[in-house]
Amino acid sequence: MGASGIGKLPRWLVAFTAVCLFLMHLPVLVLIVFSFNASKFAVTWTGFTLAWYRRLLERDDILHALQASLIVGITATAIAVTLGTLIALALARHRFRGRTIYEGMMYVPIVTPEIVTGISLLVLFVFLRMPLGLATIIIAHVAFCVPFVVVVVVARLAGMDENLEEAAMTLGADEVTTFFRVTLPLLWPGILSAALLSFILSFDDFVITSLVAGSGSSTLPLVIYSMVRRNIEPSINAISALIVVATSVLLYVSDRMSRRNEPSHA
Amino acid sequence: MTALDMPPQAAGPRSAPGNGLRRRALAWLAPRPQAQAWTLLAPGTVWMLGFFLVPVIVMCAYSVMPRGEYGGVDPGFTIEAYTRFLHPVYLTILERTFVLAVATTVLSALAGYPVAYTIARSGRWKSLLLFLVVLPFWTSFLVRTFAMIFLMRDTGLINSWLIAAGLRQEPIPMLYTPFSVLAGLVYGYLPFMVLPIYASLEKLDPALLEAAEVLGARPAARFRRVTLPLSAPGLIAGCLLVFIPSLGSYLTSDLLGGAKELLIGNLVQNQFSTARNWPFGSAASFILMIVVLAAVLVYLRLRPPDTVRGW
Amino acid sequence: MTSPAVEFHRVSKSFGATKAVDSISFNIERGEFFSILGPSGCGKTTTLRLLAGFETPDPDGGEVRILGEVVNDKRPYERQIAMVFQNYALFPHLSVERNIAFGLEQRRTPRSEIAGRVARALDLVRLSPQTFARRSPTQLSGGQRQRVALARALVLDPAILLLDEPLGAIDLQLRKEMQLELKALNKQLGTTFLYVTHDQEEALTMSDRIAVMSHARIAQLGTPAEIYENPRTAFVAKFIGESNFLDGRITDRADAWWEVEGRGGIRFRIPVLNGLAPGQDVHIAVRPEWLDVFRPDAVPAGENAIPGTVRDVVYLGETMHVVVSAPSTPDITVALRNEGQLINPLPWRRGDPATVAWRPEDCQILEDE
């Protein structure tokens, strides 16, 4: 674009945008800064400390919840990515009856409010007399992650040249070999970003998890929620800060990776 | 032939790849596109039917059954759960939820459009600004809601500073008001508004703006007659993406709203935790889902045919 | 008993209710450079994909044979074909060398042989192996990608090489060069080439034979000269080169010719042909370069002549077009050699009375479509 550049925009517009972006980040930034605040009451700065982070390591409930969250996140992501990628391959590469309707239906779980998904799963699990716990959490997480995986992988497949797979077949590779030697290597960045999205959705989920977790198992968001509800102390700031930083790092790394593997559209 | 020095057997029939079973399976699948597709679709489809569709059906069934004494349901059929919604208390909740979702959408659009416009025209700053919009999108919603509490509660940062600066004697009550819920929702869902608008502005061919200019349109007219209509699909998509989660929001009003600012989402949750009225909760949940799907259908009708899918 | 490289016997393919290929039959001889030429949507790509094995004929949709063997149910990787794709389809995640080795590896060629054959294939398409082997396809120009795609296909020594408009995306200069190189490779290697294109000039330059397709059928099959000089239908005459079209009704026989009367009292003669009789309607085409323009009083005896006025004189470089409008016919275009307009300008100006003339044997009599 020849006539672009922030300098050509009206001043008020740039200022307004700056304020909006600042406000979008202010609360979390404040949270992170005050996670290093020595005061327990957390509103006035009384000095730098790492005490709240050290305190996290002493709390078994947080460590257990972290472990549960990781187990759930990794398992649910592995299952959701496998199921979702297979669906995406069928949608993008095969003609079958009802394809358009199927693709449309994939968006229904995405737009359905979490509270509805959670309640309906709770009702089902109770109806089937399934004990609530890690297993039900994983089942629920896979169910809400699969459609997101499908959307991301279908987008990647749509940008991928179908001739590449046909070329492999004229060179003597059968469908299975073509998949492993051509489709999968080119699809990796898409699968990785789908996995990242799926993991973060799972790791951050509170509403659905709180309904299907039962009393025995707690993931990290459940523990944070009860801490927020009961008494606000700076270790929540510390755990929040860690989550935000970890997410940003993951996001940055995946962004770099997918950029490096961008397929050429030549 | 001579140029490539082919061994003689290279011209013969090609050695078939793979082992016998694989070959036979592929040979069976090759002329059957339906079978190929459903082989891939089957596992995921079974999961989604079993753990999305079936639960919704069971929930729907629960909503027309009599209430069990300690939660759950008793056998039978009744539409009591739905008639109960006609009570003013619940109509108020429905109305409040709707008004709040509309207000959130309007405020997000008013704030989000200028932001998206600036980012689309920001040249070399673009990727940084975009990253700043995307980041909150990926940050834990619970953490971000907590951050709002940290700022807004009576002993929170804003009030402490106001008092410390001598501007106020008493803290301004911000938390547990309609204002705090609205602020929380706008803060939570603004990225959903900015990204689709940005995407549609980004696609806009600058030559069109130059053409408008050559045809005599001043900046205001150019915006009103070219930029705005061409970015309308993004704006509409953004509104949908903010409106839907606002309607179904639960966490924001739960943490920032207190008991007075009950929304449908909280009503549903209460029926399963404290009130133990599963049929009523299921009915509320079902109504919420129908309203959301209706909003999506309205969007699909409004959407111009050439809009790109997704966000 | 050498069977042809390719045989299509009454092959049909439909997608839903549309017939993409409608009962077509043709043979391609071994070593032949065969082109399928037609506008987009005519079925040429489907024909190619039927041969490659990406599409299978309809049930009861005829037979496709490669080297005498029916291949209807064979997958692409079970056929002795190789293909160069329109967009080259080079694997972006593999180097040039690994792209070319892909097919050899798939065929379990001994590792020790692969490097040598890859290098020879690169030499064959005039890319230096030292420079290009390790590059990524994304670092190559369009023309270089084109050559790598060709090397990747040729290294397998296929019975038939399929080329799907491979020259569409490169610039004119390079395209002309590649046309001659492809033709030379075909003769040098003896490999059968099937070339699909919508560019008539390309097909005429390279092919031994051309099948012109229109509406899922073959409109005409023949050598470039047969197709150009004796088009069977108006579609072929229009699609390949330019033509002037005249309609009329046969009135009677004069010596070795049929006498034809067109609209507005125009009369001309056409060669005597089987199946024509007085009273019958005929459509004829005449190539612009077979026409000439004369002063009304200077028309050579024995030639067909249509009087009119010069409407325009068009400068085209190699040739000059004189457009003559005559009553009751569409404008007639006459192509004349440009002998230098600065030194030896054409004597025609807009509005000059002029008569278009041609020899009766140059009339191409068209069949109804």
Pick from B3, B13, B26: which is nearest to C189 by CB? B3
Q: Does domain C244-365 have CATH number 2.130.10.10?
A: no
Subunit contact B15:C108, Cβ cutoff 8 A: yes
Pick from A161, A174, A261: which is nearest to C89 by CB? A161
The domain tally of chain B equals 1
Assigned domain for B4 exists: no
Tell which wins on pLDDT, B115 or B311. B115
DSSP A263: P
Minimal CA separation from B291 to chain A, in Å: 10
pLDDT of residue B18: 52
pLDDT of residue C44: 95
Nearest CA in chain B to C116: B4
Nearest CA in chain B to A18: B115
pLDDT of residue A27: 92
Greatest CA separation for chain C? 79
Enumerate residues 6+ apart whose C-beta is below 8 A from A160: A183, A186, A187, A263
A15 in B contact zone (CB under 8 Å): no
pLDDT of residue B92: 92
Question: Which of C46, C50, C77 has the most A C-beta neighbours within 10 Å, making it the best mutation to test the interface with A?
Answer: C77
Assigned domain for B25 exists: no
Task: Return the top range by mean pLDDT from A18-22, A38-42, A189-193, B25-29.
Answer: A18-22
pLDDT of residue B307: 46
Kindly report, residue by residue over A83-100, the tens digit of the pLDDT: 999 999 999 988 888 888
Helix, strand, or coil (residue A131): coil
pLDDT tens for each residue of chain C, 369 residues long:
589 999 999 999 999 899 999 999 999 999 999 999 999 999 999 999 999 999 999 999 999 999 999 999 888 999 999 999 999 999 999 999 999 999 999 988 899 999 999 999 999 999 999 999 999 999 999 899 999 999 999 999 999 999 999 988 788 888 999 999 999 999 999 999 999 999 999 999 999 999 999 999 999 999 999 999 999 999 999 999 999 999 999 988 877 888 899 887 888 999 887 778 888 899 999 999 999 999 988 888 889 999 999 999 999 999 999 999 988 888 999 999 998 889 988 899 999 999 999 999 899 999 876
Inter-chain CB pairs, A–B, below 8 Å: 268
Question: Which of B14, B150, B153, B266 has the most A C-beta neighbours within 10 Å, making it the best mutation to test the interface with A?
Answer: B150
Angle, CA C236 vertex, CA C247 and CA C335 arms, to 5°: 70
CA distance A199 to C197: 48
Minimal CA separation from A248 to chain B, in Å: 7
Superfamily of segment(s) C6-231: P-loop containing nucleotide triphosphate hydrolases (3.40.50.300)
Domain ranges of chain C: 6-231, 244-365
E strand or H helix at A110: helix A107-111
C16 in A contact zone (CB under 8 Å): no
The pLDDT of residue A1 is above 50: no
Enumerate residues 6+ apart whose C-beta is below 8 A from A33: none
- Name chain B contacts of C156, Cβ cutoff 8 Å: 10
Pairing assessment for the beta strands C33-37 and C209-214 based on DSSP bridges: parallel
DSSP string, B133-187: HHHHHHS-HHHHHHHHHHHHSTTSHHHHHHHHTTS-SS----TTSHHHHHHHHHH
C161 in A contact zone (CB under 8 Å): no
Subunit contact C92:A182, Cβ cutoff 8 A: no
CA distance A113 to B251: 12
The pLDDT of residue A79 is above 50: yes
Of B61, B77, B99, B72, the closest CA to residue B285 belongs to: B61
The pLDDT of residue B311 is above 70: no
Find the CATH number of the domain harbouring B111.
Answer: 1.10.3720.10
E strand or H helix at C49: helix C44-52
Q: What's the ipTM?
A: 0.89
Minimal CA separation from C120 to chain B, in Å: 6
Instruction: Collect contacts of C266-274 with beta carbons under 8 A, ≥24 apart.
Output: C266/C306, C266/C326, C266/C328, C266/C329, C268/C304, C268/C305, C268/C306, C268/C360, C268/C363, C269/C304, C269/C360, C269/C363, C270/C360, C270/C363, C270/C365, C271/C360, C271/C361, C271/C363, C271/C365, C273/C365
Minimal CA separation from A171 to chain C, in Å: 4
Minimal CA separation from C87 to chain A, in Å: 7
Minimal CA separation from C90 to chain A, in Å: 7
Kindly report, residue by residue over A115-149, the tens digit of the pLDDT: 999 999 999 999 999 999 999 999 999 999 999 99
Inter-chain CB pairs, B–C, below 8 Å: 42
Subunit contact A173:C106, Cβ cutoff 8 A: yes
Subunit contact A31:B282, Cβ cutoff 8 A: no
A100 in C contact zone (CB under 8 Å): no
CA distance B193 to B187: 11
Assigned domain for B45 exists: no
Assigned domain for B145 exists: yes
